[in-house]
């Protein structure tokens, strides 16, 4: 009976996984609307809060005539190293490396989509890059707030 219970517990843990898994796509939110009407022309660089497992991100927005004309979004690991094509290469599995690279690729997609749509609420989280998405939302909102001050 003890072995049966232990097996059931192990299966339950395996199926539920870790709470920090970023494969789950975050829902879009109407609260992700940004208002560029009060934004002043300039270049605004904002750093995200630090995720204790995956590091931080930095967003640089260029605003001109109430429009975002450029956005650069980059991630940094816990050691301050830029997340690039080597990010995740020391992962224990190919799947972990691919997941790390999906997050790197998503950073450019998020930036490009913001310039294209001018609307943060129209950008979906990409599976495997939810933490990057949350940091992108955080930094975009803050950059627009700073631009309006």
Is 106 a member of any domain? yes
- Report yes or no on 54 lying in a domain: yes
Q: In the numeric block, which tokens belong to residue 35?
A: 């208002």
Residue 45 backbone dihedrals phi, psi, to 5 degrees: -115, 125
| 18 assigned to some structural domain | no
Looking at the domain assignment, is residue 142 inside a domain?
yes
pLDDT tens track, the chain, 149 positions: 444 333 333 333 333 333 334 333 444 455 788 999 999 999 999 999 999 999 999 999 999 999 999 999 999 999 999 999 999 999 999 999 999 999 999 999 999 999 999 999 999 999 989 999 999 999 999 999 999 99
Give the domain CATH number at 67. 3.90.1010.20
Residues in the chain: 149
Q: Is residue 22 part of a domain?
A: no
In a domain, 25, yes or no: no
Q: 24 lies in a domain?
A: no
Q: Which domain holds residue 125?
A: 30-148
Q: Rounded to whole angstroms, what are the CA distances from 20 to 54, 67, 128, 143? A: 10, 35, 11, 27
- Write the Ramachandran bin of 42: left for phi over 0, alpha for psi from -120 to 50, otherwise beta: left
Q: Give strand pairing partners of 70.
A: 62
Q: In this structure, what token pair is assigned to residue 136?
A: 């992108």
Q: Are 34 and 139 in contact (CB under 8 A)?
A: no
In a domain, 2, yes or no: no
Predicted pLDDT of residue 6 = 39
Q: Domain total for the chain?
A: 1
CB half-sphere exposure, 84, CA atoms < 13 A? 4
């Amino acid at each position: 009976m003890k072995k049966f219970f232990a097996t059931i517990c192990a299966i339950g843990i395996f199926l539920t996984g870790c709470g920090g898994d970023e494969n789950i796509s975050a829902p879009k939110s109407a609260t992700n609307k940004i208002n560029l009407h009060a934004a002043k022309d300039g270049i605004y660089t904002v750093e995200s809060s630090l995720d204790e497992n995956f590091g931080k991100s930095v967003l640089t927005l260029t605003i001109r005539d109430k429009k975002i004309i450029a956005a650069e979004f980059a991630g940094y690991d816990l050691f301050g190293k830029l997340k690039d094509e080597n990010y995740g290469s020391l992962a224990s599995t190919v799947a972990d490396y691919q997941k790390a690279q999906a997050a790197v690729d998503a950073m450019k997609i998020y930036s490009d989509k913001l310039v294209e749509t001018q609307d943060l609420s129209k950008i979906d989280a990409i599976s495997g890059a939810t933490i990057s998405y949350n940091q992108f939302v955080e930094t975009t909102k803050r950059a627009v707030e700073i631009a309006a001050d």
